[in-house]
Amino acid sequence: MRDVRVFGSAVSIALCLVAAACAKAPSPAGSGGTIGPVGTNGRGSGAATGAGDAIIDASVDVSIAAIIDAAEYASVDGPTGCGLAGAPTGVLSNQTITVGSQARTYVLSVPRNYDPNTPLPLVFGWHAHGATGALARQVFSIEPAAAGGAIFVYPDGLGAAGSTDWDYTATGRDVDLFDTLVDYLTSTYCIDRARIFSTGLSAGAFFTNDLGCLRGNVLRAIAPVAGRLVNPNNCVGNVGAWVAHASNDPLVDFTTGGIATRDFWIARNGCSTTLAPVAVSTADCVEYQGCQPDLPVVWCVHTEGHSWPSMANCLDGGVCFDAGPAIWTFFARFR
């Protein structure tokens, strides 16, 4: 579900406090629990204490305006970290979270000027086969364009025989990892649940497409680069899609990978065949018209092979562009 802000709950809490009649009343729906993810999949089981609990524990002389402001972002989807002070900021490497019985690692990047009362987008970055979350952060280079306007998380894959790949099955460990990280991060930081995004390269793009289908009710938009479809069944919800692929990709076929991905999201989002150009450096980017409201599809073609597009690697005079800023521009249009 998209984020639903329970303003009415905030008003009820305020009235209770002023009357000093419900200092120990139950928290509003989706605002209680213990710190950190608990349980087998982390969904609704033990996320951090939310704004509602802080309000109930506050003294009765807290102003109604402050109470309403703090509780406004409580979500029916689960606890919220809005209003909670003390969450760490900066680039947090080697973070660990338990998914089921297994410890998983990730890199978290939170703006230094993070304000726990200002909801921010959350962007997932999924690395390519054999890489790491830390390397994805460096290669994707989306954060400079975001300029402190989002929280980024870069998980590490596991894979068989030490290969650090992703599990694309609907009930697999990495969909579980996504769910657990969403629950944990939204209960720890002030994240706008209506603006959760995913991007990835190669195997990470496969997984981003997978999540766009399986978690289209959680994600707002996706940006797969050099990917293909792996599990386009049982989709829920809908997402905007920014798709990039090299016409000369030697590993993931341009037609069965890139074009098939583009056409899937065009059909799913009800777009027409009418095109409008998109100004993205020298890339051949177009946006399909007539899509369902708030479900755009952008298609970018380049000639940098099986890689994350970057002008720094454009040595052959072909069609090149910087994917990081282009993806952030796409994500930033969602409000």
pLDDT at residue 264 tops 90: yes
Q: Tabulate helix, strand, coil % of the chain (nearest 5).
A: 30, 20, 50
Residue 135 Cα distances to 50, 120, 160, 196, angstroms: 33, 23, 20, 21
Residue ranges of E strands in 100-238: 102-110, 120-126, 151-155, 191-201, 221-225
Residue 151, pLDDT above cutoff 70: yes
What distances in angstroms separate CA 240 from CA 17, 77, 153, 216, one per listed residue? 42, 21, 20, 9
pLDDT at residue 284, rounded to an integer: 81
The CB density around residue 299, as the number of other CB atoms within 10 Å, is 23
Residues making up the chain, counted from first to last: 335
The per-residue pLDDT for range 182-241, each reduced to its tens digit, is 999 999 999 999 999 999 999 999 999 999 999 999 999 999 999 999 989 889 999 999
* Residue 264: closest CA among 293, 290, 299: 299
pLDDT at 180: 98
| CATH tag for 90-332 (out of 3.40.190.10, 3.40.50.1820, 3.10.450.50, 2.30.29.30) | 3.40.50.1820
Q: How far is CA 78 from CA 69, 98, 241, in A?
A: 18, 19, 26
Give the residue extent of every domain in the chain.
7-71, 90-332
- Cα Rg of the chain (Å, integer): 21
pLDDT at 14: 35
Residues 6+ apart with CB under 8 A from 160: none
Q: Is the pLDDT of residue 132 over 80?
A: yes
Confidence at residue 319, expressed as pLDDT on a 0 to 100 scale: 83
Q: Do 229 and 209 form a contact (C-beta atoms < 8 A)?
A: yes
With a cut of 60, say whether residue 256 has pLDDT above it. yes
DSSP H or E segment with residue 69: helix 64-71
Whether the predicted pLDDT of 18 surpasses 60: no
149 three-state secondary structure: coil
Mean pLDDT, range 69-95, rounded to an integer: 76
Q: What is the DSSP letter of 312?
A: G
Mind listing the pLDDT tens digit for each residue in 5-17? 333 333 333 333 3
What does the pLDDT read at residue 233?
87
pTM summary value: 0.77
